[in-house]
Chain A
Amino acid sequence: MASIPDDIFFASISEITGKLREKAFSNVELIRAFTARMEHLGPRYNALALLLPQRAHKAAKLVDDDLKRERYRSNLQGIPFGAKDLLSVAGEVTAWGAAPYAGQVFDESATVIKKLEKAAAILTSKLAMVELAGGPSYRFASASATGPGLNPWDRTRWSGGSSSGSGIAVAAGLVTFALGSETSGSILTPSAFCGCTGLRPTYGLVSRYGAMALSWTMDKIGPICRSTDDCGIVLQAIAGADPNDPSSAGKTFYNAPQYTRDIQSIRVGFAPVDFDEWAEPSARPDFAKALTLIRQMGVQVTEAKLPDLPYGAMTGTIIAAEAASIFEPLIAGGKVEQLADKRQIAGLKAGLEIPAKDYLKAMRIRSLVQQAFRDLLADTDILLAPTRLGPAPKISEPLDRPASDRPRPKDPGLTTLIPAGNLAGLPALSLPCGFADGMPIGIQLVGRPFSENVLLKIGREFQNRTDFHKRRPPA
């Protein structure tokens, strides 16, 4: 039996595809190695919700049969992946990271799972997450039935959430790629904190069918990978119209950043105050270098500003109201008390008390947000900002308190880009761009609806010039 070199656990989709087709090892051998690694290391980081070795082995045997006959089904054929445990897998437990749903089983897989399995990618595991995807909010990293996500770079620090297991699994080489979800920050944050590349697609591009809903109007499913190239490959496989998803935009995505606009014609807007004052001091040097590198790519760089709207209050109201409606049986029946995080329990209960007028006001202001972005992005193609202002916090720190006593700049810059971009349904790409205090940090690029290829183009060029996406956490 061929042994799988360690490098394979951190290899790209294309590299592994090449090795499989040249028969360096069989798919069964590959998947056996990845599942063993996940079984051994996943619990070390609280990354694992459920291992699926039999399912994975069975699928790998089929791939080997195909490869023997040179039946090449897709460029994801035989590639091991993990799925955030809010995505249903037929016949397997899908617990949503929450004690009240332990043992929950659906009889149909989520559309994105079906699409990836049809492409012959190999689902090896369900990945840990913050309970109920963190809605409406939570105080501690331990807000999960599987415990706090532990960062592979430093296990005393948080992995980020709510797609905690997805970020961990990719960073630690436990899967080649993972599926996460984002309502407001949950793909971008673990990507930044774990040193991964995460892509939040345009709202409606990827079907939500079979995914736990936290907020019908804000949830998106997307890839967390080791590179922009891999994000593009995965997004092409999972995107597309789905009649089962009423929010489906009815659009497909063809991974073709090389055919999109010339880099020199792309206009990037940023706020200097984000990099100079908002960013934590330990992160500023590498953020500054990332900004310089973006300029050196030849894009047109200008300053940008978001209109002064209450983005946080809007996301707070919309998500809390929608989540409370979705989980009303949980709340009314009392099982909400079984959740791990006290703030989350209280937030769900209070969400049931949000008057319709407040929800509708938030949704009406949301129309202004969309128009504001249409105006802003008429003259700018991409907005650039730090994904998070510093590295991952310590596990024990409350997540809703200021991390430092530094005076806050008056100019908000683009610090509200995550809630604002999610309210407008815009796509975003988080790229690892350096380190602070020995921990990864990331920058985010946000574009117009359905402009994922433009984001990937910039991301690919950035990763051609850097190697942060190839770095590995300490063994």
Chain B
Amino acid sequence: MLATPGALLAQTPTQPQTALPQNPPQGPEAELNAAREQRQRNAELLAKVALPMATEPASYFKA
């Protein structure tokens, strides 16, 4: 199972399609920066999807 590029996948990590640094980040600060970079990559991928303005989120509140 492979994720789209740069994705973090909860519960069962995937093998990414794009090349990633072979060595894991060293130290908590580096890990946090790596997680932030991943978050940013995810945001950039989401930004590329053109959405009709009328598209609503897939969850609803009911009174």
Contacts and interface: CB of A to CB of B under 8 A. Distances in A.
Interface of A: 130, 133-139, 160-162, 182-186, 188-189, 214-215, 217, 278, 309-317, 319-320, 323, 342-343, 345-347, 349-351, 353-355, 358, 360-370, 386-389, 398-403, 408, 412, 415-419
A313 B16 CA distance: 11
B1 A389 contact: yes
A408 B25 CA distance: 25
Contact of B49 (A162, A310, A323): A310
A401 B2 CA distance: 11
Given A313-B41, A367-B56, A418-B1, A347 B46 contact: no
Contacts of B17: 408, 412
B8 A136 contact: yes
A312 B7 CA distance: 5
30 contacts: A134-B12, A162-B12, A184-B9, A184-B11, A185-B11, A186-B12, A310-B48, A311-B4, A312-B4, A312-B5, A312-B42, A315-B7, A316-B3, A319-B10, A343-B31, A345-B31, A358-B39, A360-B57, A361-B51, A362-B46, A367-B55, A368-B49, A388-B1, A400-B15, A401-B22, A412-B4, A416-B4, A417-B1, A418-B1, A419-B9
Contact of A364 (B7, B22, B56): B56
Interface string B5-31: 111111111111100101011001001
Interface of B: 1-17, 20, 22, 24-25, 28, 31-32, 34-36, 38-39, 41-43, 45-49, 51, 55-59
A348 to B, nearest CB: 9
A370 B58 contact: yes
Contacts of B57: 360, 363-364, 366-367
B3 A343 contact: no
A214 B12 CA distance: 13
B45 A160 contact: no
Contacts of A361: 46-47, 49, 51
A347 B35 contact: yes
Given A185-B1, A310-B48, 12 more contacts: A316-B9, A316-B38, A360-B57, A361-B46, A362-B46, A367-B55, A389-B1, A399-B13, A403-B15, A408-B2, A416-B2, A419-B14
Contacts of A134: 10-13
Contacts of A402: 15-16
Contacts of B51: 361, 364-365, 368
Contacts of B43: 313, 317, 355, 358
Given A278-B2, A346-B35, A403-B15, A314 B46 contact: yes
A183 B46 contact: no
A182 B7 CA distance: 18
B49 A137 contact: no
Contacts of A387: 1
Contacts of B15: 400-403
A316 B7 contact: yes
A137 B38 CA distance: 11
B12 A398 contact: no
